[in-house]
Structure 1
Amino acid sequence: MIKYFKFLAISAVLMSLPKEVYCAETDLSVPLKKVYMVLWDGCEEACRGFQDYLKTVRLPVEVSVRDAAKDKSKLRDFVKEVRETHPDLLVTWGTLATLEMLGSERDSLSDRYVRSVPAVFMVVSQPVESGLVSGLVTQGRNITGAVHLVPVSEQLQLARQFIAFKRLGIIYNSSETNSVVTVEQIKKIAPLMGFEVVDRPLPLKDGKPDASKIFDLTDELASQKADLIYLGTDAFMNEHRRMLSDAASAYGIPVLSASEGAVRSGDALFAFVHRYYNVGQLAGQKASKILWEGLSAYDIPIEPPQRPLFVVNMTAAEKLNLYPPFSLMTGADAVGIPRDKDDE
């Protein structure tokens, strides 16, 4: 059996877009499959999880990676390239990139989007609510994927085991579909769980959300006696998560995050999440079923990984003098543990 290992990291210019291609160790007797992968902001944990999974399969695959670098205009060029190259599978990261590549279900027949290539998405928090598909199990598009968001109701129920909050504050980018959907969901949940919602959309400056207003809006939440702030999957707010957590900390308000990154590197207090790496691995499993098992994407359920994780930032807990109960710490991931002064 002829085997080879080949890894190429090629920086080239193709329609002014960066390119990276790799091939995994494999048996040459199996036909090579080509995957076109679209990222929004570089290759992070989900991307690495996906690529690592395909390498473990040890079947011939070439993954061409395109990074939009948070530039929405590049996605139109990626659509054109997919049409020209006809890969065996399209993989997308994030709600915005996925909708720009595939369109919503309502627009799926438009020539503006990729139609003829099966697709797997990852890190799309709410594929039904965003209009991408009509259902997670049964839907008519040649799309499947791995979602990363623990249902908001479950996040808030866990938060109640930690903090007896009565007013939940939210600062969000109203131009992001996910953010608006999340706020609407929370407002429906609030009366059932017995809390109030104080939400503030970011004002726009030159058509874009103005990050400089985050502190002022946090001040408004504090004046309205918000006792917990929720940071959803809002891409803009996550980009400025440190600004939010610093402002919240100044008022002694804890931050619950929908993603682990804000806890690990943004000083949010806690999160109940699916790890991005596991989301990428699950997307890799689904890709494998399409590429080598012959399944159609629409026959593969859209789902999250099985086990969510409680993540808590102990430095933030110390600043707020607010520590989770032992019942939540069993199996939890405690990060940012302060160093003992005697050890310094």
Structure 2
Amino acid sequence: MTVTLGFVGEAFSMNIAMVVWRGETIAEKGFVGELNRLGHHPAIDVFDAGQDRKQLAYILRQKLQPNLNQYDYVYTFGTTVSETVKTFLNGVRPQIFNIVADPLGSSLVDPKLMGTGNIIGVTNTVPADRQIANARTIMKFKSLAIPYNPREINSALIIGQLKTLGREQGFTVLPIRVRPDENLWQEDLKPVLEAQSVDAVYLPPDSFMISKADIVVPLLNNARVPTICAVAQFIKHGCLMGTVADYETLGKLAANIVDRLTKGESVSQIPLQFDPEPIFKVNQTLLKALDLAP
């Protein structure tokens, strides 16, 4: 489905193709609203893939490709859409991604988390130091396991950050390699489930672990292992606690990237954007069940 959005009564100042994975969310409403507030009043064509990779491919080939020259920017929602559109565009148009949990692992930013290849955007992941600071208001853990996919660059980065925080704050970090193989990953997770000496588990913005959130979180909960979760997908499936981004704020951040580009900044000058005031969520029922409630 394609829908054209705009600001009634105003001439359109730019044309944007908005490619989304599962319909418009509050993030897209925040994006459009902020662009209008900034005075841009864009014409926006919305292309909804409906959570279907074949439909996404059809949109790119049959809808976007023939009209690509008419768009000033391409907005993409989610990892699947953003990675696919990146390959499709090949840098021909500026791409602003949103709600991508692991932009580095998806090669959407450079190792310094700056824009690259005409692509920059917003992540829904909250930095590790904020996650740990909030989590330690609930429990003063001394050991923290982190299951991760060794093939993902972002995971190594997060482990390094956690180890640094551990040295500063007095807790140890135990990385657990989880191979991204349907026949092996649950076997790899067993040390986490059986480790009696680990106080808590940190579930990182690791694409493979996120894809298994509906299995991983219940397994850890059943094993009575407290969890600290880096993205909303884990919270959705019952994680004990996590600091998560507000989607409307993320949409506004994406709009401000467009504003900066219109004022002459290049993509490579703009860093990856984060929600500056994410929300700390605690599963109170699970907190009581784990005997952690004050």
Give the shorter-chain TM-score range: 0.7 to 0.9
CA shift in 2, pair 1:32/1:318, >3 Å: same
What amino acid is aligned across from residue 229 of structure 1 in structure 2?
V
Compute the displacement of 1:296 (Å): 4.6
Q: Which residue of 2 aligns with 1:220?
A: 191
Larger C-alpha radius of gyration, 1 or 2? 1
Compute the displacement of 1:82 (Å): 4.1
Moved more, 127-136 or 114-123: 127-136
Normalised TM-score (structure 2) = 0.78
Distance in 2 (CA, whole Å) between partners of 1:175 and 1:73 is 28
Check conservation: 1:125, 1:178, Cα contact below 8 A.
no
Check conservation: 1:171, 1:202, Cα contact below 8 A.
no
Q: Which residue of 1 aligns with 2:47?
A: 65
C-alpha offsets along residues 200-227 of structure 1, whole Å, 9 cap, x if unaligned?
414513xxx77xx64x555431322222
Aligned residues between the structures: 289
Check conservation: 2:115, 2:270, Cα contact below 8 A.
no
Q: Which residue of 2 aligns with 1:92?
A: 76
What amino acid is aligned across from residue 178 of structure 2 in structure 1?
P
| Matched ranges for 1:87-166 at <5 A | 87-102=71-86, 113-125=89-101, 127=103, 131-134=107-110, 141-166=117-142
CA RMSD of aligned residues (A): 3.6
C-alpha offsets along residues 261-293 of structure 1, whole Å, 9 cap, x if unaligned?
432x321111123223311221123234546x5
CA shift in 2, pair 1:259/1:113, >3 Å: same
Check conservation: 1:76, 1:101, Cα contact below 8 A.
no
Secondary structure class of the residue paired with 2:8: strand
| Matched ranges for 1:222-301 at <5 A | 222-225=193-196, 226-263=198-235, 265-290=236-261, 296-301=266-271
What amino acid is aligned across from residue 98 of structure 1 in structure 2?
S
Distance in 2 (CA, whole Å) between partners of 1:266 and 1:74 is 27
Normalised TM-score (structure 1) = 0.68
Where structure 2 has 5 or more consecutive residues not aligned to the other structure, the ranges are none
Check conservation: 1:218, 1:248, Cα contact below 8 A.
no
Compute the displacement of 1:117 (Å): 0.8
CA shift in 2, pair 1:73/1:166, >3 Å: farther
Moved more, 232-241 or 294-303: 294-303
Compute the displacement of 1:310 (Å): 1.5
Secondary structure class of the residue paired with 1:90: strand
What amino acid is aligned across from residue 232 of structure 1 in structure 2?
P
Check conservation: 1:68, 1:75, Cα contact below 8 A.
no
Q: Which residue of 2 aligns with 1:7?
A: none
Distance in 2 (CA, whole Å) between partners of 1:91 and 1:24 is 15
Check conservation: 1:36, 1:90, Cα contact below 8 A.
yes
What amino acid is aligned across from residue 204 of structure 1 in structure 2?
D
CA shift in 2, pair 1:139/1:254, >3 Å: closer
Secondary structure class of the residue paired with 1:303: coil
Distance in 1 (CA, whole Å) between partners of 2:101 and 2:8 is 33
Compute the displacement of 1:118 (Å): 1.4
C-alpha offsets along residues 172-220 of structure 1, whole Å, 9 cap, x if unaligned?
4455554454345445654554313141414513xxx77xx64x55543
Q: Which residue of 2 aligns with 1:319?
A: 289
Compute the displacement of 1:232 (Å): 1.9
Where structure 1 has 5 or more consecutive residues not aligned to the other structure, the ranges are 1-18, 104-111, 325-344
Q: Between the two proteins, what is the percent identity of the paired residues?
A: 24
CA shift in 2, pair 1:78/1:242, >3 Å: same
- Which of 17, 41, 51 is matched with 1:36 structurally? 17
